[in-house]
Chains A and B, each alone.
Chain A
Amino acid sequence: MGLLDRLKQRLSKTREKLSDGLSALFRGGRPIDDQLLGELEELLYTADLGPIATELVEDLARMHKRGELKGEDDVREHLRSTLLARLDQAGGEYDPPADPTVILIVGVNGSGKTTSIAKLAHRFQNQGKSVLLAAGDTFRAAAADQLEIWAQRNGAQIVRAHKDGADPASIAFDAVDAALARGTDVVIVDTAGRLHTQKNLMDELNKVRRVIEKRLPGAPHETWLVLDATNGQNAIQQAREFTAAVEVTGLVLAKLDGTARGGAVFGIKDALNLPVRYIGTGESLELLEAFDPEAYVDALLGKHLGTRTSQGA
């Protein structure tokens, strides 16, 4: 099964909902009118597109006035190309350029950082690279244990403190140090979840970053923000604040295996131009996909496959 198919399958819940809705809107040959556009806007909102939903529908309304929209296919095609244009950017699979490549992982509490790190390690290892994990979450109870269990499952190396409350920056420093000494290919640094509104914790994160850079100029090569796909518009605020604190360079969108669609990434691209690197689609190691904008948008809007409809009789 190709990647696109798999992604489509994983996003099937998303797709069914939205395309069901899209098709359902036009069912019975309904003409495009204000009412229909209003319902379309609401459908787009459910994907957490936020105000972009309104913009898209306003576009459609203008086009409709000019007589440019014949029916469902035109609407779908316009949405597809617009959404794609709003995403199209250098994201997707990451090829670690340096030895070692250091990737700093940040995000709010519980967004999926540690699990995503385990999956990333798995992925890089499958590409024949050696991976070292830095247990930089010294705050949350048993966070280092959690990462260590993943490291064991993966056969990855780990640098961790053995007591709580250790300085995360010094763990990161030691990790980079060890990677340099051992010739490890990739270092992934876990950090404690923190809300982007907490200034002192954001400063702490900035310090982690600076210490890494000090040990290895040019590092961290990437700083990825792990977003919970079930989050709504606040994700944009998260991206803003984390970028301000540690120069985020990319996104990982976790928990796309539910019914949430993570549409906030469109708003983030708008505001900050951050590419999505990977998506998380489950709790086990292999459930990480390189982000493919086409597949994502197609999966969001994909043609109704004639499976079922929730709209009833």
Chain B
Amino acid sequence: MFESLTQRLNESFSFLRGRKELTEENVEEGLRAVRQALLEADVHFQVARDLTARVKERALGAERLAGVDPSQQFAHAFHQELVELMGPEDARLSFAKTGPTVLLMAGLQGAGKTTTCAKLAKRLRDKHQKRPLLVAADVKRPAAVEQLRVLGRQLGVEVFHVEGVTPPEVCKQGVAYAKAKGFDLVILDTAGRLHVDDELMTEVADIAKVTQPDDQILVVDAMTGQDAVNSAKSFHQRLALSGVILTKMDGDARGGAAVSLKAVTGCPILFVGVGEKIDDLDAFHPERMAGRILGMGDVVSLVEQAQEQISEKEAQASYEKLVLGSFTLEDMLAQLRMMRKLGPMKKVLGMMPGMGEMAKNIDVDDKQMNRLEAIFTSMTPRERLQPDVLDMSRRRRVARGCGQDVGAVNELLKRFKDMKKMMKQLGKLGLGAGLGSKAKKDTLRGMTDSGELASGEGGGLLGGLGSLGGAMKQGIGGLGSMLGGGGGPSPAELASMMGGGGARPSGSSATRKSGSKRKDKKKPKKSRKQKRK
């Protein structure tokens, strides 16, 4: 099965390899093969469709890059799209500032919750010096409590359970017990339940209500098929999911569910389970996962060859589009993702010139960013490219798709409009031309860097925009209003844009000032170093 798949892909890619240009026709051929590959990997059909459409845009829209084989360019586009969809790499949990951190684990029957609870307890104890308490709240499956107890004994982690009370009550008492006994981490193991079981879904929502978890995690079997979308949607609606853990990845499931899950919930895939032993829990790597889903090692190495050349050029194209050309929701999403690639929002803020102080005082919420991203990914590529088509009924569909209300979609569109307006103004002022080539180069570097901000001489995307702002006397405020509010940028607005609306700014430093300060390119690097200490 896998051989034939790789073969087929090779065929279509070799077909492309011979061509000089990516045309509508030969791209179509390749797309068909890859779409088939995605479906065989259990990526949800809608997600697969959106994905292929986006790649088509990308492949056709992209200029032929000198020295890059069209097939490489095509493969790269696909890989990149998948990586972007599943990323950013993000294995962080939100720990409570005071009192014990509470993790709620939920999922369908047989997904692997209990084992994963034990794995998490061990990992967080060993790597984060937490003192975990496991709470056994699966009173449904015979011997489920005993199963957790056995695992707890093996680990030397206490397991809490009370006979004869409801699961929400068990959990509530478990959290109280943890507080009383000085545990700083509580992991709630809940019973497996079907997303269509109203009673049980209400029960898990009740557990969340009475325990106020810091993280609500959906545990999903990597072998899940098309149904992943249905169940994830329902769980996301009933709980405020903050992350996903994919189990049984040590098998040969291609794991397309990962793409669907990310598209539906917008939540990061925190960890993957890779075996039955308690240590078998790994961080999630979008790049690796993309290769696995596409099931094409050879193509992936093609991609790696092309990576360098392409990313540089692509970033330039997207930059020029941003500043000079037509600005679409697709671009806004790309910007958002680039920002997110830089790391958690608080950290990003901290790295921005003159923003370090302010970042300390802001409570930025990455979950809000997830939500924001989920709205984007619930749109079709066409909607993102031609935002005007988003009438009320489409907006409603988008809202349903990401499990949020229409208000949130409208809010995002309003921001888009404001941002577009600003882009136009920038264009009129001939900003693109006025930009120093050095700043431009920094900008590109920032965009291409996938993990950390600006590996080289600091600045990067934000630095670039910062100096852009310096020239404009709009400074960081420009960036703020770009993603956030409209006209006059204020710290509050900037923060609310960063947090997607949920931030609580308490600082009062003037953004304009900090923006115009941005001249010294060494600054961000320094503040980043300081952060590491």
Contacts and interface: CB of A to CB of B under 8 A. Distances in A.
A161 B231 CA distance: 37
A303 to B, nearest CB: 22
B45 A195 contact: no
Interface in B8-27: none
B194 A46 contact: no
Interface of A is mostly: loop
A112 B276 CA distance: 17
B509 interface: no
A112 B148 CA distance: 18
Contacts of B146: 141-142, 145
A313 B143 CA distance: 48
Contacts of B257: 232
Interface in B144-197: 144, 146-151, 154, 194-196
A260 interface: yes
A16 to B, nearest CB: 11
B140 A110 contact: no
A232 B40 CA distance: 8
Interface in B221-257: 221, 223-228, 230-231, 248, 250-254, 256-257
Contact of A146 (B41, B111, B141, B228): B141
B110 A109 contact: yes
Interface in A226-282: 228, 230-238, 255, 257-261, 263-264
Contacts of A238: 223
B6 interface: no
Contacts of B61: none
Interface centre among B39, B151, B252 (most CB of A within 10 A): B39
A284 to B, nearest CB: 10
A139 B275 CA distance: 13
Contacts of B40: 50-51, 233
A230 B221 contact: yes
A45 interface: yes
Interface residues of B, number: 49
B109 interface: yes
A234 B1 contact: no
Nearest to B118: A141
A85 interface: no
B355 to A, nearest CB: 45
B143 A237 contact: no
A78 interface: no
Given A54-B36, A112-B109, A141-B146, A258 B196 contact: yes
A19 interface: no
B142 interface: yes
Contact of B225 (A196, A257, A264): A264
A47 interface: yes
B45 A42 contact: yes
Given A109-B112, A109-B248, A232 B143 contact: no
A142 B138 CA distance: 14
Contacts of A231: 221, 223-225
B226 A232 contact: yes
B228 to A, nearest CB: 8
A241 B221 CA distance: 19
A141 B154 CA distance: 10
A195 B142 contact: no
Contacts of A235: 223, 225
B406 interface: no
Interface of B is mostly: loop
B49 interface: yes
Nearest to A51: B40
B110 A195 contact: no
B400 to A, nearest CB: 10
A145 B1 contact: no
Interface in A142-191: 142-143, 145-146, 148-150, 164
A201 to B, nearest CB: 9
Contacts of B223: 108, 228, 231-232, 234-235, 238
Contact of B226 (A46, A145, A195): A46
A146 to B, nearest CB: 4
B42 interface: yes
Contacts of B251: 108, 195-197, 234
A101 interface: no
A237 B228 CA distance: 19
Contact of B227 (A143, A233, A260): A260
Contacts of A141: 146-148, 150-151, 154
Nearest to A139: B276
B508 interface: no
A110 B231 CA distance: 17
A198 B231 CA distance: 28
A47 to B, nearest CB: 7
Contact of A232 (B36, B225, B230): B225
A233 B142 contact: no
Contacts of A109: 110, 112, 248, 276
Contacts of A150: 142
Contact of A260 (B112, B140, B225, B256): B225
A258 B231 contact: yes
A215 interface: no
B224 A142 contact: no
27 contacts: A42-B45, A45-B39, A45-B45, A48-B42, A108-B248, A110-B111, A111-B110, A146-B141, A195-B250, A195-B251, A196-B252, A197-B251, A228-B221, A228-B223, A230-B221, A230-B225, A232-B42, A232-B256, A233-B42, A234-B251, A234-B254, A236-B1, A237-B252, A238-B223, A255-B110, A258-B195, A258-B231
Interface of B: 1, 36, 39-42, 44-46, 49, 108-112, 140-144, 146-151, 154, 194-196, 221, 223-228, 230-231, 248, 250-254, 256-257, 276, 393
Given A234-B223, A258-B195, A264-B225, 4 more contacts: A142-B143, A234-B252, A258-B227, A260-B230
The 8 A-B pairs of least Cβ separation, nearest first, read: A232-B225, A110-B110, A232-B42, A141-B150, A260-B227, A149-B142, A146-B143, A145-B143
